[in-house]
């Protein structure tokens, strides 16, 4: 049976996230976009509200949110500030490999602390030569006695410079390519880890993105997730789940721009009437409203499939690609509807346009999403 009504709990979650975005994120979004500071104060409040640990299972002290719940929360939070949302979402991205593949002991040891005090985590897959081609990771992990010694470099790591814990993808058998990859849980204070350059980004400037260097970083063999050789599958299964959240972020960014542009179009007078009464603007708004609803249905469907045990790779990829494309188109249109004002930093839509672009790139470019969809429908 198809039921589009949210449960009482989901409505309450949605309202909590909406209020948090409105009260705690929106008022300081421009400040953190323009300055160089990291929004630690907002993250502390996000921790207290439970958002930083919302996907950690309840038995380990977290919120135990399903993929659908997470999508509902993500759509609301991102409306406050996409950069701050990314910081929050990346915690879930980094926890997912541990949730999906960790042992009880690993979950107890590494996830529970995040439910007790504020902390951030990072998912360390990307390298200079292994971006879209994620199986080409050359960071190496060599087993020495009861430890692994990790050497290599990662780049474009969200939360890289602010995380307490990293999930690091490395190769234990390079000749095997992606089948030689493994995933490790690495505390950020492990000797040999150096934080490199902090990236100066076009948008989502409230989020922290850095290089990371691993120089003879020793971790216990107990920090290996799943088995040697499973790293690529750990990464792919994590991304299958996480991409639905990026889709939800696309819906939220599009909604933020649409709602602002709609109000503006209803009040801005030109040629003696509101510009919303001109068919060109009205049709643009109608198309945007339709696309936002279509994107949300894709996202919720993908999340529902994941919650019900389906692979969901194709649907997550569809949701991520479509919703982030809608976010990009909508924010560009919103700037256009506001005209000269839209281009100015005094209005929020130029920031949303810059922020939206990253949704088409991170957690797999939209070209990669189309590759995943094509692979699933043609083989």
Binding positions for ligand COS, rule: CB under 6 A = 123, 125-126, 132-135, 178-179, 232-233, 236-237, 239-240, 313, 362-364, 368, 371-372
Helices (H) and strands (E) in the chain, counts: 12, 10
- CA atoms 338, 339, 343, 345: torsion sign: negative
Closest CA to 336 of 251, 293, 250, 278: 278
Annotated catalytic residue 363: yes
Residue 275 Cβ, how far from ligand COS at the closest point, in Å?
39
Choice between 154 and 205, CB closer to ligand COS: 154
Please tell me the distance from the alpha carbon of residue 179 to that of residue 270, in angstroms, as a whole number.
62
Residue 110 Cβ, how far from ligand COS at the closest point, in Å?
19
Choice between 155 and 298, CB closer to ligand COS: 155
CA distances from 134 to 142, 235, 342, 363 (A): 20, 9, 37, 11
Q: How many residues are present in the chain?
A: 379
Please tell me the distance from the alpha carbon of residue 185 to that of residue 75, in angstroms, as a whole number.
29
Residue 373 Cβ, how far from ligand COS at the closest point, in Å?
10
Choice between 239 and 275, CB closer to ligand COS: 239
Choice between 261 and 302, CB closer to ligand COS: 302
Residue 312 Cβ, how far from ligand COS at the closest point, in Å?
9
- CA atoms 130, 366, 74, 107: torsion sign: negative
Catalytic residue among 222, 363, 367, 376: 363
Residue 371 Cβ, how far from ligand COS at the closest point, in Å?
5
% helix, strand, coil for the chain, step of 5: 60, 15, 25
Choice between 123 and 214, CB closer to ligand COS: 123
Choice between 206 and 239, CB closer to ligand COS: 239
DSSP letter, residue 49 = T
Please tell me the distance from the alpha carbon of residue 277 to that of residue 259, in angstroms, as a whole number.
16
How many other CB atoms are there within 10 angstroms of residue 103's CB atom? 12
**Residue 62 burial class via C-beta count within 10 angstroms: exposed 0-12, middle 13-18, buried 19 and up:** buried
Which residue is closest to ligand COS by CB? 364
Residue 173 Cβ, how far from ligand COS at the closest point, in Å?
13
Kindly give the interhelix angle for 26-34 and 349-359, rounded to the nearest 10 degrees.
80
Residues carrying an active site annotation: 363
């Amino acid at each position: 049976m198809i039921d589009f009504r949210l449960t009482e709990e989901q409505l309450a979650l949605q309202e909590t996230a909406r209020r948090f975005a409105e009260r705690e994120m929106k008022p300081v979004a421009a400040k953190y976009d323009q300055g160089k500071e990291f929004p630690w104060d907002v993250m502390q409040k996000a921790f207290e509200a439970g958002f930083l640990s919302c996907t950690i299972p309840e038995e380990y002290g977290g919120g135990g949110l399903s993929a659908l719940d997470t999508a509902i929360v993500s759509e609301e939070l991102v409306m406050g500030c996409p950069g701050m949302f990314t910081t929050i979402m990346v915690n879930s991205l980094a926890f997912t490999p541990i949730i999906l593949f960790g042992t009880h002991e690993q979950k107890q040891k590494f996830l529970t602390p995040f439910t007790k005090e504020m902390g951030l985590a990072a998912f360390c897959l990307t390298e200079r030569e292994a971006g879209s081609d994620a199986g080409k990771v050359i960071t190496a992990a060599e087993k020495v006695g009861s430890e692994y010694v990790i050497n290599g470099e990662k780049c474009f790591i969200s939360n890289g410079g602010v995380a307490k814990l990293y999930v690091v993808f490395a190769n234990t058998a390079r000749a095997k390519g992606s089948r030689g990859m493994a995933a490790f849980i690495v505390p950020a204070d492990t000797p040999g880890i150096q934080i490199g350059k902090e990236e100066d980004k076009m948008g989502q400037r409230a989020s922290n993105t850095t290089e990371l260097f691993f120089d003879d970083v020793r971790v216990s063999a107990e920090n290996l997730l799943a088995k040697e050789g499973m790293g690529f599958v750990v990464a792919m299964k994590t991304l299958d789940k996480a991409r639905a959240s990026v889709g939800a972020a696309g819906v939220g960014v599009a909604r933020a721009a649409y709602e602002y542009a709609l109000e503006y179009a209803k009040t801005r007078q030109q040629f003696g009437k509101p510009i919303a009464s001109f068919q060109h603007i009205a049709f643009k708004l109608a198309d945007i409203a339709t696309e936002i609803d279509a994107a949300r249905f894709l996202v919720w469907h993908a999340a529902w499939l994941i919650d019900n045990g389906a692979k969901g790779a194709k649907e997550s990829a569809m949701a991520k690609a479509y919703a982030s494309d809608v976010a990009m188109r909508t924010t560009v249109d919103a700037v256009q509807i506001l005209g000269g004002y839209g281009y100015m930093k005094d209005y929020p839509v130029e920031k949303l346009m810059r922020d939206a672009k990253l949704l088409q790139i991170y957690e797999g470019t939209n070209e990669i999403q189309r590759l995943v969809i094509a692979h699933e429908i043609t083989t």
